[in-house]
Amino acid sequence: MTTTVGFDRGGVQSSADLLRTERLRIARDEPGLIPRGRGWEPASREMAELCADCPDTIGDVLRMLTRAQEILNLLPPPAANRVASFNSLYFTITDRVAQSLRGTEVRDPSFLELLDIEFAKRYFEALRLWGDEDRSTPDAWEILFRRAQDPGVSKLAAAMLGVNAHINHDLALALTSTWEQLGAPRDEVVHPDYLLVNKIFYQEIPRLRRRYSTRFQLRIDGLLGDLDDWSQRVLVAATRAHAWEQAQRLWELRDDEDDLARAKLVMDRASAYVGELLITGDGVVNRTGAVLRAGRDTTRSSLRRLFGRARH
């Protein structure tokens, strides 16, 4: 099938270059940020063995995510590895998808299960590439992996970084791979199943966000009421709709390896840029919280000293 859409090769390449330049400009890249063993030490061998596996069913995906969680939970910082935060979220959503396959809402279970399998393959491949110090590790995943042990990134932000990489980078690739195996997309049949995952996200977002939030983030959450839940539902809908459109563009480029590679590159660079912006925003919130906590502690200490002297 020949390409039916215009493709500006020069524009795409310059966009990819610009996105990388801008990402590196705002990146917080302290010396020693990437830990020994790329962050998988002392479980590098276990992680490599896990990632060498290949899931054939959604049950396999859940089994591999469970094993990944066991490995990540043993890595530093104790019980707080940042990749573990995303992996836990990913398991929750995948488990809900697996449950939906046994229900009556899904029109084409073979499509939704295969999409989930192809989706998971991208995540485990990224884990493998990073552990192998392979330069082809997607930039979108590098943003999270390099901060696996960084306490300066909140667990909530880490989970969001994983969601960003998985939806804005991996999902379109998983869709095209699924279409290659099952045939060209039939929107009227499979798209409703695709949107069913949005519904799962909507139901799980409040619990997931509060699972990873700091006390300061929870206070902000309480002040916003339902507004942040609504805004994140809109964000999920928009990003997953964009991933579907990205997949359609990649599908039309599939017979031209060079153009397809350029399109994948700019998709990766754009996802990575969004990731850096997430980290920048998270840093502002964390620093604000730290300042407010310091001010509160100073005030309490001053009041204790004042009233202590008053009693004497």
The mean pLDDT values, 10 residues at a time, for the chain of 312 residues are 48 56 56 63 94 97 98 86 94 96 93 97 97 92 90 87 94 97 82 93 79 53 46 78 94 93 92 86 43 38 48 50
Task: Identify which of 77, 76, 78, 53 has the alpha carbon closest to the alpha carbon of residue 66.
Answer: 53
Are residues 271 and 169 in contact, defined by beta-carbon separation less than 8 angstroms?
yes
Helices (H), the chain: 9-26, 44-51, 58-73, 82-101, 109-131, 139-145, 155-165, 171-182, 187-212, 215-224, 227-252, 257-311
Dist. CA 146–CA 163, nearest whole Å: 16
pLDDT value at residue 166: 95
Dist. CA 288–CA 94, nearest whole Å: 34
Are residues 51 and 124 in contact, defined by beta-carbon separation less than 8 angstroms?
yes
pLDDT value at residue 295: 36
Tokens found for residue 92: 């929750």
Dist. CA 12–CA 259, nearest whole Å: 9
Dist. CA 287–CA 212, nearest whole Å: 17
Which residues neighbour 65 within 8 Å (Cβ) at sequence distance 6 or greater?
Answer: 87, 90, 91, 94, 120
pTM, 2 dp = 0.80
pLDDT value at residue 263: 93
Cis peptide before 109 (omega within 30 of 0): no
pLDDT value at residue 204: 86
Q: Using alpha carbons only, what angle is made at residue 22 by residues 167 and 176, rounded to the nearest 5 degrees?
A: 25
Q: What residue spans define the domains of the chain?
A: 33-311
Tokens found for residue 182: 């099952």
